[in-house]
Amino acid sequence: MTQAIPITIIHYDEIALKGDNRRRFEECLAENIRAKLKRAGLLDCKIRRLYGRITAAHGTWDALQTQTFHESLQTTFGVAFFADALLVANDLDDIEYAALSIAGRQPFQTFGIVTRRAVKNTPFNSKETNIQIGSAVQHASGAGVDLTNPELTIHIDITQDGSFVYANKIAGPGGLPTGIQSKALVLISGGIDSPVASFMMQKRGITPVYLHFHSYPFTSDASIDKVKRLVQQLDTFSGPSPLYMQPFSDIQKAILRDVPDKYRIIMYRRLMMRIAERLAQNIGAKALITGEALGQVASQTMQNMAVIENAVSMPILRPLIGFDKKDIIQKAQAIGTYDISTEPHDDCCTVFMPKKPATRATLSDIEEVEKRLLISSLVEQALNTIV
């Protein structure tokens, strides 16, 4: 009998992955897992790429370390599921030994065996494996076989590197590994939506960088601190990311002075977009991300969005565009940003908010009004004050 080696297998499930893309995906995912475990202080762990899966081999960990390890994988984009397995030789007796020790970890009334054989050079096939291991588990546990809805499913993956035997699959967040797409600049407010928008795009592989406009001293320190904590929470998924802060009140004062009430919000947003675009260009970000959702507030009409978008040429990604508020709230709760977002705070724009914003601004009206402002020098000044 050879040794049974404890090892965690990590699966991803982007079905369209082929050729080079697949290798890039696996390498990126493996690297992100390594980095995340390192940040969590779990140094004694070897991550390898292995035929369509990634494996993590580690020494003996206590319960807390195991929990940290699981939480790390559960928050790494690209992980579809993972399971703590035993790795044995491609030998039916060894597989049986592993299956029995996995089955011994928990009580169950019914079970099933699911064997997948990725190599064809074993002297036994999947069916024979299911039969021998099934009867051994039945004999040892007294439980019944149930192939449709068993309490315990024992998986046996027979590969070139040996057989992986495991039971409990733990779900990861899915998506694509952070860094597989370009950097993108997230316009983050202290609200509910923009953190969720960031999460959605992080999940599709972008590397986030954040920009927040604040009106300190018109707004409190607490609102700045809140945004920092939102970013910290989002960082649990993608790792540490920069947060830029732009003191926006000079621009707001200029707008307050020269722009009719009803156009103020659109004007703030157009200025925000211009500043964001310039920052993005400076730091190599390829798109802007906002938490806008169609019709959610009076200013978020299609027409207004078009006018806002017109201020810049960089793509603006709005992953929440078709979401209902309740779905956004649910998502915010699930990713741990809701409680932070709903702490009372004064937003930079609520302080300078008009009573009745225009819902159907036209580009020509706005461009006419903008002539009263020294747009390019305002943008230049704003860029110089970003920290």
Q: Does 270 bind ligand ATP (CB under 6 A)?
A: no
Binding segment toward ligand ATP, per CB under 6 A, in 67-75, 99-107, 144-152, 209-217: 209-217
CB of 372 to ligand ATP, least distance (A): 23
CB 210 within 8 A of CB 198: yes
Counting residues that bind ligand ATP (by CB under 6 A) gives 18
How near is the Cβ of 223 to ligand ATP at its closest, in Å? 9
Helix (H, G, I), strand (E, B), or coil: what is residue 212?
strand
Tell me which of 26, 193, 277, 309 binds ligand ATP, using CB under 6 A.
Answer: 193
Give which of ligand ATP, Mg ion, none residue 353 binds (C-beta under 5 to 8 Å, depending on kind). none
Shortest separation between residue 149's beta carbon and ligand ATP, angstroms: 42
Q: What is the DSSP letter of 232?
A: H
Smallest separation (angstroms) from ligand ATP to the CB of 79: 27
Q: Which does 212 bind (CB under 5 to 8 A by kind): ligand ATP, Mg ion, none?
A: ligand ATP
Among 32, 189, 241, 252, binds ligand ATP (CB under 6 A): 189
Q: Which residues contact 97 (CB under 8 A, 6 or more apart)?
A: 1, 4, 88
**Nearest residue to 216 (alpha-carbon basis) of 190, 244, 246:** 246
**Interactions with Mg ion, residue window 302-361 (CB under 5 A):** none
Residue found under tokens 């309490």: 151
**Rounded Cα–Cα distance for residues 103 and 154 (Å):** 8
285 binds ligand ATP (CB under 6 A): no
**Beta carbon of residue 280, minimum distance to ligand ATP (angstroms, whole number):** 13
Nearer to Mg ion, 31 or 346 (CB): 346
d(CA 387, CA 379): 15
Q: Which residue, 42 or 276, has its beta carbon nearer to ligand ATP?
A: 276
CA distances to 6, 132, 151, 235 from 162, rounded to whole Å, are 12, 18, 26, 36
Of 204, 193, 205, 202, nearest to 234 by C-alpha is 202
Distance (Å, whole) CA 129 – CA 98:
13
Could you tell which of Mg ion, ligand ATP, none binds residue 165, using a CB distance below 5 to 8 A set by kind?
A: none
Question: In the bound complex, which residue of the shown chain has the CB atom lying closest to Mg ion?
Answer: 191
The alpha helices in 59-118, defined as continuous H runs, are 63-74, 92-103
Decide: is 309 part of the binding site for ligand ATP (CB under 6 A). Answer: no
- Using rule CB under 6 A, residue 191 touches ligand ATP: yes
**CB of residue 217 vs Mg ion: minimum separation in angstroms?**
20
Q: Of the listed pieces 53-61, 73-81, 85-93, 205-213, which binds ligand ATP according to CB under 6 A?
A: 205-213
Which part of the chain contacts ligand ATP (CB under 6 A), choosing from 4-12, 232-240, 285-293, 371-379? Answer: 285-293
The verdict on 238 binding ligand ATP (CB under 6 A) reads no
333 contacts ligand ATP (rule: CB under 6 A): no
Assess 297 for contact with ligand ATP (CB under 6 A): yes
Q: Token pair of 170, please?
A: 């733990």
Closest residue to ligand ATP using C-beta atoms: 191
Q: How far is the CB of 284 from ligand ATP (least distance, A)?
A: 20
Contact positions with ligand ATP (CB under 6 A) in 335-364: 348-349
Q: Give the whole-angstrom CA distance, residue 127 versus residue 114.
A: 9
- Binding positions for Mg ion, 179-198, rule CB under 5 A: 189, 191
Looking at the DSSP bridge assignments, the partners of residue 6 are 86
Please tell me whether residue 290 binds Mg ion under the rule CB under 5 A: no
Q: Between residues 233 and 290, which has the closer beta carbon with respect to ligand ATP?
A: 290
Give the residues lining the site for ligand ATP (CB under 6 A): 187-189, 191-194, 211-213, 290-292, 296-297, 299, 348-349
Residues near Mg ion (CB under 5 A) are 189, 191
